[in-house]
A and B are shown apart, each in its own frame.
Chain A
Amino acid sequence: MAEVILFYFLMAFILIAALIAVETTDLLSAVICVGAIGFGCALFFLFLRAPDIAITQIVVEVLALVILIRVTISRNATFVTGDREFFASVVSVVILMMIFLMAVQVLNSLPAFGDAVFAEVTDSASKTYISQGMEKTGAANIVSAVILDFRAYDTLGEATVLFTSVIGAAVILRKRPRKLPEEPQI
């Protein structure tokens, strides 16, 4: 039970950081608050018994902060002016609240927090991974057994997406335009 109270504290921290990140007018503060959300998430993952995710989240968060600070710092437009038109904002807030209320109804139909969903499904894939993962792959860490053996193609796709996005960023940020091929002499 003490753990659940801890989860509520962490969730409150993350939500407060998110509200500050959304509402502050200084872009650098907003970026730092997003960093706070990320590290709060890393702590959350650690207490949710997901140490691999926590480590990855910390590494990715540091990189993301560096990237985001790169875009905000040394730009003269670090201050945000205002929101969009008042009427449009009100309409979007109302729609978002409706979405939230409907989602709460849906989330109530899930099993309560702490009862793993997969435990109630007979023959779920997760159970197979837990009970036979070590025997089939030889990895004591079931998560690495899943990402590197059972679902290795998924990891290959991930690497492909990552490199594609890096190539895309490099192409977009390239300073000099590509040299056009010279006109053929006729």
Chain B
Amino acid sequence: MLYALCFLLFVIGLYCAVVKKNMVKIVLGIVVMEYAVNLFLIMLGYRIGGIAPIAGPGDVEHGQMTAGFINASVDPLPQAIVLTSIVIGLGSLALMVSICIRIHEKYGTFDITEIRRLKG
């Protein structure tokens, strides 16, 4: 059910990116989709009653992790990958926004249906 709600968030973002005419709205839709995907990946690694994948002083015995830690920790791999994805999302957002600013300077509008003609 939570997975489906997460996908609903993705679909809302997709709707915003596909239907809206305003360029900034399209950028916001893409950002919302990104959040949905990040959230879904983290959700996949969650276990109920789990602990963060950070070892405390009681979790190590003779240089080995205790079985309690191994069996309770949530998945560290999606967390590491999503960390990368969030930062890359910021980079792509900056690029999209700069393109929006440039188009607004050139055409004086954010409406993509009015930006049809080429201006050299």
Tell me the A residues contacting B by CB distance below 8 Å.
3-4, 7-8, 11, 14-15, 18-19, 21-22, 27, 30-31, 34, 37-38, 41, 44-45, 48-53, 56-57, 60, 63-64, 67-68, 70-72, 75, 77, 80-84, 88-89, 92-93, 96, 99-100, 103-104, 107, 110, 113-119, 125-127, 129-135, 140-143, 145-147, 151, 154-155, 158, 161-162, 164-166, 168-169, 172-173
Contact = CB atoms under 8 A, between A and B. Distances in A.
A44 B32 contact: no
Contacts of B45: 116-118, 126
Contacts of A93: 15, 19
Contacts of B84: 147, 154-155, 158
B95 A50 contact: no
A145 B55 CA distance: 11
8 contacts: A8-B2, A49-B50, A96-B14, A113-B46, A126-B77, A146-B79, A162-B91, A168-B98
Interface in B45-69: 45-48, 50-56, 60, 63-65, 69
Contacts of B54: 51, 140-143
Contact of A71 (B79, B81, B100): B100
A131 B92 CA distance: 35
Contact of A64 (B44, B93, B95): B93
Contact of B70 (A38, A83, A96, A127): A127
Contacts of A132: 65
A100 B56 CA distance: 41
B31 A64 contact: yes
Nearest to B114: A81
A80 B47 CA distance: 43
A15 B8 CA distance: 8
Contacts of A31: 24, 28
Interface string B78-90: 0111111011111
A125 B81 CA distance: 13
Interface string B14-52: 111011111011011101100100110011111110111
A48 B46 contact: yes
